[in-house]
Amino acid sequence: GQQLNQSPQSMFIQEGEDVSMNCTSSSIFNTWLWYKQEPGEGPVLLIALYKAGELTSNGRLTAQFGITRKDSFLNISASIPSDVGIYFCAGSWWGDKIIFGKGTRLHILP
């Protein structure tokens, strides 16, 4: 079945640094989604991508849908303490079930 590889598994960065994480798929998706989960909460949608090559921003967050349709990345610029959490990528093909990556846990050092 389809698998998503999300990396890195965890990150420790200094406040103010930029962050980059990515997901690769064993097969093609036509939708990529990025979610953030904060402690004690459910995942919340950050960015949705529906077209190969699409680059979308949401504040300090930028995500891109890879040209091959098998990958996506999420960048966070100038990280702040409230960026701490687990970031999940997710993909699907034409309305089929969404497949989630295993998450990237972001830690920010003071």
Binding site for another protein (CB under 8 A): 6, 9, 30-31, 33, 35, 40-45, 48, 50, 88, 91-98, 100-103
Q: How far is the CB of 16 from another protein (least distance, A)?
A: 28
Helix, strand and coil in the chain, % to nearest 5: 5, 55, 45
Sequence-distant (6+) residues with CB within 8 A of 11 are 19, 21, 104, 105, 106, 107
Q: Which is nearer to another protein, 13 or 48 (CB)?
A: 48
Q: How far is the CB of 66 from another protein (least distance, A)?
A: 16
